[in-house]
Amino acid sequence: MHRGGSSRAGGFSTAATRTVILAIAVALAALGVDGAASGASAAGRARTAVAAPAFTARMLNGASNNAAHPKWGEAGTNYTRVASANYADGIAKMVGGPNARYVSNRIFNDVGQNLFSENNISQWGWAWGQFLDHDMGLRNETPAESVPVPFNASDPLESFTDDLGSIAFNRTPAAPGTGTSSTRQQVNTLSSFIDGSNVYGVSAARLDWLRNGSLDGNPSDNSATLLLPNGYLPSVTARGNAAKAPAMDLFGQEMGNPTDTVVAGDVRANENLALTAIQTLFAREHNRIVAELPKSLTPQTKFQIARRVVGAEIEYITYTQFLPALGVKLSPYRGYNKNVNPGITDEFATVGFRAHSMVHGEFDVDFFDGEYSPAQLAAFTADGIAVTDNISQHTLTIPLSVAFGNPALLQQIGLGPMLAALGEEHEYKNDEQIDNTMRSVLFEIPKPGTTDPAACQTPVVDPQCFSDVSDLGVDDIMRGRDHGMPSYNAMRRAYGLPPKTSFTAITGESTDALGAGLTINDPHILDFVQLRDRNGKLIDPTGPGAQENAVTGVRRTTLASRLRAIYGSVDKIDAFVGMVSERHVPGTEFGELQLAIWKDQFQKLRDGDRFFYLNDKALPEIMSAYGVNYRHTLADIISLNTGVTVPHDVFHAAP
């Protein structure tokens, strides 16, 4: 990582030298839409020697993107489906299956062994994926029906304690008019489009609070810039009364310190340090673009230009960097297709876009002498962050549990160092294993009385430090049953893939037998007996390289044998479990099913979006008039907004 000044990239130029000014008519600005009549006055004010045509801005809530189908992609509409819903009664009742924690202990449990991406994907892989997810989908969560998952403390493969006796799980409420006499559906509360709604929100009230200026419910009379005290997202107290700030989800330690919560376009912005950092980055990017525009433009015009460019930048990075890095190759783009519904499918949201296995259990931030004061370093240590001292360069190792619900830590670390750190370390392999930070202690902090919080999670999670279980793998299984997801083979058929006829056909292994003397309840079935690095070289499982260099691992029992012992029949496997158990398609981070789900959804989001960046005529006009270019790599945007120079391709870490 290199710190310091950086040259501007992407063709910005002095706007005062331009003679052609783009006229943007904006009406109903609170929702981000305009029309010819309502935009006339704005267009007139913007004209100079040559008048440019006005363009239509995206609605904040995604409505009216498609003239013939104005509800397609709109916030508050139901997820679409590729396959028929799978409910036990054909309407709404969840299908049964093996206890989800029982499955998690035998399939998702990584027993503390790290396996990394075989394609050198950095932590930007999962971090950008989560940021993107929060731009496209959020299920309605209230009111909720509790369906707790029984916790078996006597399970021989259970190493954690749950004082509550069950793992909390709440069903997604049925969409209005469904689930009684018609098939239960679920509501997506966000715009389906990749449009920066995670930065701006999908309502006028939230955007009004986020923009500098008056707080009257109408964002169109505010400043062009977003509220960013000292360059960071505003806390809920930034406008005085925290109770009047937009609702934000609370995570981990925020439960006890809710006023530390920061506000963004999406309610989940505080979930972890990486996500908060990316949210902050694109809020800064909006303000940077505003500063590049002529002062003669109205605040609302500058706001809409910046919003248009930020949305295009997110799309551009997604389709030219993120997806190619992960091996997702789409069919050639042939322009906007009004017959394509860009809505998020339930299969994508509930199964396919859940890549929790990728999430690394910690963040390593490198720093040099003098970058942090002794008092800061002492505070980091007290919070559970390990400080490693080397000869010249040192490292802060931040466990995920410390990074959960801790937005104040971002300002202490610094935005540039945090973003650079994401590109310097490999993410975990996208397989069936889930780090115990998420598989057992999600959002938890060590129980009171723990003398060394860092030791509870570094190098691996210590079960003795925690008293409850919160398992994201359990949630992945149960959410599929809740939303009526088809079984694994039924979902393969829905995506045009042939069903698998054996467990070994799924995993690519040679046997589905546990082996002599072993049962599915023997803790030793998960032992790693062989580790290899990305070059195929054997690694000593007890040596220092075991936790840093392993890409593949062989266990005492095959994954196929454990799947067979749990499910009995290939046709009974939960879709999520089968999907993550598949052998990867060469050159990608995915098995066949997950790759097919991603291709289907991202092509729909591209082809069914009238404002997709390759179809948006306003973007070249903005470039021509003001020199504002959306064609920035993620590295460009980091450099322009933090002064930190990172490698051109942040999605790949050094081998």
User: What does the chain come to in residues?
Assistant: 655
Q: CB-side exposure of 273: number of CA atoms within 13 Å? A: 31
Residue type, 258: P
Residue-wise pLDDT for 293-325, tens only, equals 999 999 999 999 999 999 999 999 999 999 999
Where is 393: in which H helix or E strand? Answer: strand 393-399
Helix residue spans in 112-235 (DSSP H): 124-136, 197-200, 204-210
For 453-510, the pLDDT digits (tens) are 667 776 778 888 888 899 999 999 999 999 999 999 999 999 999 999 999 999 999 9
Q: Which amino acid is at 365?
A: V
Taking 60 as the threshold, does the pLDDT of residue 261 lie above it?
A: yes
The answer to whether the CB of 638 falls within 8 A of the CB of 419 is yes
The 10s digit of each residue's pLDDT in 158-180 is 999 999 999 999 999 999 999 99
Close Cβ partners of 155 (under 8 Å, ≥ 6 residues apart): 101, 102, 105, 521
Total-model pTM: 0.91
Enumerate the β-bridge partners of residue 27. 33
Per-residue pLDDT at 451: 66
Least trusted range by pLDDT, from 37-41, 110-114, 534-538 = 37-41
HSE (side-chain half, CA atoms, 13 Å) at 414: 17
Residue with tokens 């989001």: 605
Phi, psi of 527 (to 5 degrees): -60, 135
Asked whether residue 280 carries a pLDDT value surpassing 90, the answer given is yes
Lowest-confidence range among 224-228, 275-279, 388-392, 492-496? 388-392
Instruction: Give the pLDDT confidence score for residue 448 in this predicted structure.
Output: 76
- What is the average pLDDT across 85-92? 98
What is the mean pLDDT of the segment spanning 87-105?
98
> Rounded to an integer, what distance in angstroms lies between the CA atom of residue 518 and that of residue 521?
8
**Which segments within 435-581 are labelled E, that is strand?**
528-532, 538-539, 552-555
Mean pLDDT, the chain, as a whole number? Answer: 90
**What's the whole-number mean pLDDT along residues 75-92?**
98
Query: Mean pLDDT over residues 15-43, rounded?
Result: 34
pLDDT at 35 over 60: no
pLDDT of residue 256: 82
pLDDT tens for 598-625 read 999 999 999 999 999 999 999 999 999 9
Confidence of residue 8 (pLDDT cuts 50, 70, 90): very low
pLDDT digits (tens, 9 = 90+) for 625-650: 999 999 999 999 999 999 999 999 99
User: How many of the other CB atoms lie within 10 Å of CB of 359?
Assistant: 23
Are the C-beta atoms of 442 and 472 separated by less than 8 Å? yes
Report how far residue 525's alpha carbon sits from residue 514's, in angstroms, rounded to the nearest whole number: 8
Q: What are the counts of helices (DSSP H) followed by strands (DSSP E) for the chain? A: 22, 16
- Give the pLDDT score at 458: 67
Q: What is the mean pLDDT of residues 334-342?
A: 98
- The structure tokens listed for 554 are 């062989």
Higher-scoring residue by pLDDT: 138, 456: 138
Strands 50-51 and 20-21: parallel
More confident residue, 459 or 9: 459
CA–CA separation, 207 and 29 (whole Å): 11
Quick one: which H or E segment has residue 409? helix 408-413
pLDDT at 526: 97
Based on its alpha-carbon atoms, the radius of gyration of the chain, rounded to whole angstroms, reads 25
In this structure, are residues 58 and 34 in contact, taking their beta carbons and an 8 Å threshold?
no
What pLDDT is attached to residue 12?
27
Structure tokens at 483: 């939303």
The tens digit of pLDDT for each residue in 198-245 reads: 999 999 999 999 999 999 999 999 999 999 999 999 999 999 999 999
Is residue 151 very low, low, confident or very high in pLDDT (cuts 50, 70, 90)?
Answer: very high
**pLDDT at residue 454, rounded to an integer:** 66
Residue 67's SS3 state is coil
